[in-house]
Amino acid sequence: MPAQLQGTKSSKTKKTHLVREEAVIKFQTKTLVGGVMAVTALALIGGATPAAAQATATEPGGAMTSIGNSLLAHGIYLRGDYIGEFAANPSGGIKQSDRYAGQVDAGADFDLNTIAGIPGAAVHLTFSQRHGQNLAAKDIGSSVSVQEVYGGGQTYRLSELSWDQALFNDKLEFLVGRIDVGSDFAASSIYCNFQTNSVCGNPSLFGQDNSLTYFPVPTWGGRFTVKPTPQYYIQSGAYEASAYQGLSTQHGFDFSTDKSTGVIIPFEVGYQTSFRTDAMPRHYRLGGFYDSAQYNDPYFDTTGRSQAVTGGSFQTHSGRTTLFALFDQMIWRPDPAKERGLILFGGLTTGTSSDQVADYYLQLGLLQRGTFEGRDADTVGLVVTDLKFSQRTENFIIDSRRLAGGTGSPNANMIMMEVNYGAQVTPWLRFVPNLQYIINPDNINEPTRKTNIPDAFVIGLKMAVSLPSLIGLPTRSYSH
């Protein structure tokens, strides 16, 4: 397949399996099981009751309390999380297997108003490390991961070093430095209540049709946000396009730009409210990305014929645009005194040219915040996405399959679904068991496969640990 299928939103590993193994899945991920048992034991030893489990992570106690309060008083806001994701496919895909992927990130926000008397200014610093394997690419045959923490080289990185400046009572904000595009544009705090990479992070079409970098991979960039009112905002910026920074051999410390391939210009306008201003909070946003980097045609070679047939170099293009329209809206709130309620979210993302890998992406989901009595921080989620590949991408797979002795056509639409329950076990520990189903896993990584890949059923478990809360270190999120 063309070389433009790169990035960190979803794995783009090469073909590794051609034969489906009809075997009963054996769950051998001892590290995960041991880790789950250990953190669960710690939670039980700690004596957390359901009510205690709903306490916020900003109010821990313990031996570290005085240290944490001192840091906060001096304008230092520590952050840290560990996310572990297990996934297994007992049916469907190329073969049955189970995989584990994890991510640890740690950093701090430095309030320069407190530290140095610079109003509205802050420095953000984040380090990360990713590890593990990708079930989707290795065993299912899909280019979109079922473990959202997989990607970005599975290595350690300096993931952010930036200057954040707010002016005019926060009506204008700048962020510059080593940052990633996906954290600020087409993003939502709702998405990572799910494990599937078709939702968590950003819409999965972005991983197919541009050279954006996503956390944990930074490049040079700058973003400005204008807020004429507390509800309306406009933001744009410019970011370095550099697939080089996403290689596993890179760790975020190479600040040179000699490997840059272009510039990415994102833009977004939006309307958003909160519980302080709206009984039914909502967020609507429209925007897009222009990517000036050169990319390969999904089908044609330099002579205008099928590259799968000729084996020649792909035809290249430069300059592509992706557009998006996204929303989330609380539609039911049984108790005005609490933030419990049902949120509807969804959207459309589309390319603008026939020489892009995918045509469009659709998303629709529900998230219930607050489930049973005393479980206000628990969630129930359901999401369905549809990623439609372009005709040129489909034709490339058809030609590749025919040359390998196969028949038939691939399915152009890959539909991914997830249903889950998010349980806040303690202030520092959250489990999200989930079930996923993939209809028509794409053949992007398996273009010479002779038949379509069977629909895949996936069992998943996401674990999130707040590191400051785990050790009893008081902290809170930075805001201007």
Q: Enumerate the domain spans of the chain.
A: 30-470
Whole-Å CA distances, 419 to 89, 141, 436: 15, 21, 7
Using an 8 Å Cβ cutoff, are 359 and 351 in contact? Answer: yes
**Helix, strand or coil, per DSSP, at residue 400:** helix
Please state, in angstroms and rounded to a whole number, the distance separating the CA atoms of residues 437 and 346.
18
Please state the length of the chain.
480
Give the per-residue pLDDT at 220.
97
Give the per-residue pLDDT at 63.
66
**461, two tokens:** 């478990």
Give the per-residue pLDDT at 433.
98
Using an 8 Å Cβ cutoff, are 179 and 170 in contact? Answer: no
Using an 8 Å Cβ cutoff, are 89 and 96 in contact? Answer: yes
Across 183-194, b (16+ Cβ under 10 Å) vs e yields bbbbbbebbbbb
Give the per-residue pLDDT at 54.
35
Using an 8 Å Cβ cutoff, are 306 and 313 in contact? Answer: no
Letter for the amino acid at 318? Answer: S
Q: pTM above 0.95?
A: no
Backbone angles phi, psi at 443, to 5 degrees: -100, 25
Residue 150 contacts by C-beta under 8 Å, 6 or more apart in sequence?
11, 85, 101, 130, 132, 133, 134, 136, 197
Give the per-residue pLDDT at 272.
97
Distance of CA 31 to the CA centre of its chain: 23
Give the per-residue pLDDT at 159.
97
List per-residue pLDDT tens for the chain, 480 residues long. Answer: 433 333 344 333 333 222 233 333 333 444 444 444 444 444 433 333 333 333 333 444 456 888 999 999 999 999 999 999 999 999 999 999 999 999 999 999 999 999 999 999 999 999 999 999 999 998 999 999 999 999 888 999 999 999 999 999 999 999 999 999 999 999 999 999 999 999 998 888 887 878 888 999 999 999 999 999 999 999 999 999 999 898 999 999 999 999 999 999 999 999 999 999 999 999 999 999 999 999 999 999 999 999 999 999 999 999 999 999 999 999 999 999 999 999 999 999 999 988 999 999 999 999 999 999 899 999 999 999 999 999 999 999 999 999 999 988 889 999 999 999 999 999 999 999 999 999 999 988 889 999 999 999 999 999 999 999 999 898 888 887
**Helix, strand or coil, per DSSP, at residue 35:** helix
Give the per-residue pLDDT at 454.
96
Please state, in angstroms and rounded to a whole number, the distance separating the CA atoms of residues 251 and 130.
11
**Please, is 44 exposed, middle or buried when counting C-beta atoms within 10 Å of its C-beta (0-12, 13-18, 19+)?**
exposed
Residue with tokens 């189970």: 98
Note the CATH architecture for domain 30-470: Beta Barrel (2.40)
Please state, in angstroms and rounded to a whole number, the distance separating the CA atoms of residues 219 and 216.
10
Using an 8 Å Cβ cutoff, are 286 and 267 in contact? Answer: no
Using an 8 Å Cβ cutoff, are 121 and 112 in contact? Answer: yes
Letter for the amino acid at 410? Answer: P
Give the per-residue pLDDT at 23.
34
Give the per-residue pLDDT at 40.
40
Residue 47 contacts by C-beta under 8 Å, 6 or more apart in sequence?
none
DSSP letter at 221?
Answer: E
Please state, in angstroms and rounded to a whole number, the distance separating the CA atoms of residues 297 and 294.
10
Give the per-residue pLDDT at 209.
79
